[in-house]
Structure 1
């Protein structure tokens, strides 16, 4: 597998290795992927919870135009 990195990303990796936080680039990338997986899982869980709240909430009698108008009034008011 080939991965292209920006100059800034390469410098960051080099700095992390030089500081002793990581032994090599592979360990840093594995750690970054674990963090990314955890973050993505949390985002998905949060989105599912928000969707469930929407499905479980009472039905509104307002239409899309009413909601948009209400938001615009809140910004200017």
Structure 2
């Protein structure tokens, strides 16, 4: 597997290792992937919950563009 990082990402990884919190770059990446997985699962659960609220909620007379516009202004 070949992975490329930006300079900013490389600097961040090196800072984490230098802090002593991680022993090597691989640990930083594994932890980042683990946290990303947790984050994605939470986002999916939140979206599912919102979809269920929408399906179970009352019908609306608003158009989709009106609903989107109301969300952008709040």
Q: Give TM-score, length-normalised by structure 1.
A: 0.81
Between the two proteins, the alignment pairs up a number of residues equal to 70
TM-score, length basis structure 2 = 0.84
The one of the two structures with greater contact order (alpha-carbon pairs below 8 A, sep at least 6) is 2
Of structures 1 and 2, the larger Rg is shown by: 1
RMSD (CA atoms): 2.1
Unaligned runs of 5+ in 2: none
* Superposition map of 1:57-72 within 5 A: 57-60=57-60, 62-64=61-63, 67=66, 71=70
